[in-house]
Amino acid sequence: MALNQDVVVYQIYPRSFKDSNGDGIGDIKGIISKLDYIRSLGVDVIWLSPVYKSPNDDNGYDISDYKDINPEYGTMQDMHKLIIEAGLRGIKIIMDLVINHTSDEHEWFIKSKAKDPKYRDYYIWKEKPNNWTSFFGGKAWTKVDDAYYLHLFSKKQPDLNWKNPEVMKEIKEIMRFWLDKGIYGFRCDVINIIYKTSLENGKKRLVLVGKEHYHQQEGMHEILKTLRKEVLDDYETFTVGETVMVTTKQANDLIMPVRHELDMIFSFSHMEVDQVNNKWFKTKFKPKKFMKTLTKWQNEVYWNANYFENHDQPRSISRFGDDQNYHDESAKMLGTLLFGLKGTPYIYQGQEIGMTNCPFNDMSEFKDVETHRIYDIAKKIGIPKNMRFKMMQKTSRDNARTPMQWSSSCGFSTTTPWIKANPSCEKINVLDQETTADSILNYYRKLIQLRNKHHVLRYGTFESLYESKSVYAFRRFDDDHEVFVICNFSKKPKKIKIYIKGKLLISNIRKKDYNHVLAPYEARMYIKEI
């Protein structure tokens, strides 16, 4: 396996990480000021969510200039400095490559709209729309003059036409532009939907009508092969694709060494265990389903990108743990699990201190375009007000987008932040955890050190041992060592029903005697020579 997969990645959502100039918006200088903190975690790579020029309809996932920086975040000089300063600390940076769509304010779209012959076909235009629906709900087509353009996300995010070779040329050049600046690679946004094979009507379904015409198409493989051969292979790079609705086989089709289109992919299966039909309808979290899904992906996929959080997902402790009664325990238990799995671990900003979902009180507190669109649709289909508000509280992506909690007064900015700060900062913050030996933060640091120290944790084979209603146990092994990981997902003590040998490597609960009973949300890792 290529060495570049053997890293720990930290995701930064720039808007909410650190504000350096007191305008309430996180920025690049803010990130630079926190590089020593990031280094102190022991991570190798930063994934930076978009910092490109953008009207911010979808917080930067709507790019209006791929070769410029959003002035709210700083300048190209700041970006150069970030790359250099991170490099000096041994940290590489990957950027978000959003190439399914641009902003409608991108020069290409403005010219396309004006029927400029060079640019008209950069996007997908149709005289009569088909029945496709968008990821953010509602129709996927919007009319301009006498024609409609396709947008699988918001109407300010028109889809690029990947059948046009000019689009390929442009994107190749943009990738080189950033790789030449010292960027280590890309997180490729919704990469498995970029190629639209046909624009026929889709089969009737509840969500994403039309997906059979653009999801995981052969044309996408061709594009990725070209980008690999003609750009990525000229550099030392790291790529992770965000792939929606993939199966394990489709994942392998993208990452197996023979094809090697991407180094690894983010899948969603394990994030969908607490939902019915779509993410807005949550059901009770059943740990066993979570375990079974993780095991399946561990067993079937060549190399996983392991994550429990990102900027699109509510906070993991609030979903899979207990953010009220067992905050510390469940945060550390989930960390133990994440670092016990085989693959590349991803930590989303704030996860390392156990940030939780935010108590939003009113629709006006939500900033996310998706949240508002879905709320409106829920209204249209007659879901009562308090119910649809509750849905949004639980599922909104804004739960992950509240400011990073640096101190008990938040410490993100000197002014009111662009989005509500989570009042939990009083109890959950970096400053306190820096000075508490057994904090969640220091536990994450320890997990990263252990992973770096033990080959078996990075490369060892995975084998599931036990999956009950609330206890998950598995082992990892290589030629020399065996590691056992055991996690309790419940508020109740649980008997350990399997025989575990070895020396205790890490545990989230201090005990005199590690007997055969797991405390609520207890997790342990044991190691043994073979």
Catalytic residue numbers read 189, 242
By C-beta, is 246 or 518 nearer to ligand ISL? Answer: 246
Task: Figure out which of the listed residues 153, 348, 360, 418 binds ligand ISL, where binding follows CB under 6 A.
Answer: 153
Using CB under 6 A as the binding rule, whether residue 98 contacts ligand ISL is answered as yes
Closer to ligand ISL by Cβ: residue 263 or 312? 312
Query: Among 52, 122, 135, 280, which residue interacts with ligand ISL (rule: CB under 6 A)?
Result: 135
What CA–CA distance (Å, rounded) separates 283 from 275? Answer: 5
Choose among ligand ISL, Ca ion, none what residue 27 binds, the Cβ cut-off being 5 to 8 Å by kind: Ca ion
- Residue with token string 């419940």: 490
How far does CA 522 lie from the centroid of its chain?
26
Q: How far apart are CA 88 and CA 91, in angstroms?
A: 7
Smallest separation (angstroms) from Ca ion to the CB of 93: 19
Residue 21 binds Ca ion (CB under 5 A):
yes
Q: According to DSSP H, which parts of 71-164 are helical?
A: 76-88, 107-113
Closer to Ca ion by Cβ: residue 70 or 243:
70
* Distance from C-alpha of 102 to C-alpha of 111, rounded to nearest angstrom: 13
Q: Closest distance between ligand ISL and the C-beta of residue 257, in Å?
A: 26
Dist. CA 155–CA 383, nearest whole Å: 24
Regarding 348 and contact with ligand ISL (CB under 6 A), the answer is no
Q: Report the C-alpha gap between 363 and 366 in whole angstroms.
A: 6
Nearer residue to Ca ion within complex by CB, 215 or 420? 420
- Which positions from 242 through 281 interact with ligand ISL, judged by CB under 6 A? 242, 244, 279
Residue nearest to Ca ion (CB): 27
Strand order in the sheet with 461-467: 461-467, 471-477, 481-488, 523-529, 503-507
By CB under 5 A, tell whether 398 contacts Ca ion. no
Instruction: Select the binding partner of residue 52 from ligand ISL, Ca ion, none (C-beta < 5 to 8 A, by kind).
Output: none
Residue range at the interface with Ca ion (CB under 5 A); choices 21-29, 215-223, 377-385, 398-406: 21-29
> Could you say which of Ca ion, ligand ISL, none residue 522 binds, taking C-beta under 5 to 8 angstroms by partner kind?
none
Residue 309 engages ligand ISL in binding (rule: CB under 6 A): no
Helix, coil or strand: residue 520: coil
In angstroms, the CA 12 to CA 34 distance is 11
One DSSP character per residue, 237-290 reads -EEEEE-TT--HHHHHHHHSTTT-S-SEEE--GGGSTTEESEEEEE----HHHH
Q: What does the angle CA 21 – CA 25 – CA 28 come to, to the nearest 5 degrees?
A: 65
Assess 211 for contact with ligand ISL (CB under 6 A).
no
HEC secondary structure over 360-411: CCCHHHCCCHHHHHHHHHHHHCCCCHHHHHHHHHHHCHHHHCCCCCCECCEC
Q: How far is the CB of 92 from Ca ion (least distance, A)?
A: 24
Write each residue from 397 to 436 as x if it is in contact with ligand ISL (CB under 6 A), else as -, in one continuous string.
x---------------------------------------
Residue 256 CA, distance from chain mean position = 21
> In the structure encoding, which two tokens stand for residue 222, read together?
């061709």
Q: Let me know: does 522 contact 333? Beta carbons within 8 Å.
A: yes
The listed partner (Ca ion, ligand ISL, none) that binds 135, CB under 5 to 8 Å by sort, is ligand ISL
Selected binder of Ca ion within 27, 159, 261, 352 (CB under 5 A): 27
Ordered DSSP codes for 456-517: HHHHPEEEEEEE-SSEEEEEEE-SSEEEEEEEE-SSS-EE--S---SEEEEESS--S---SE
Smallest gap from residue 72 Cβ to Ca ion (A):
7
* Residue 215 beta carbon to Ca ion: minimum distance, rounded to whole angstroms: 38
Q: How far is the CB of 433 from ligand ISL (least distance, A)?
A: 27
Residues in binding contact with ligand ISL, number by CB under 6 A: 13
Q: For residues 216-245, which are near ligand ISL according to CB under 6 A? A: 242, 244
Dihedrals phi, psi of 465, to nearest 5 degrees: -110, -30
* CA 168 – CA 155 distance, rounded (Å): 22
The answer to whether 75 contacts Ca ion (rule: CB under 5 A) is no
* Residue 19 touches which member of ligand ISL, Ca ion, none, C-beta under 5-8 Å by kind: Ca ion
**List of residues contacting ligand ISL (CB under 6 A):** 58, 61, 98, 135, 153, 189-190, 242, 244, 279, 311-312, 397
| Contacting residues toward Ca ion, per CB under 5 A | 19, 21, 23, 25, 27
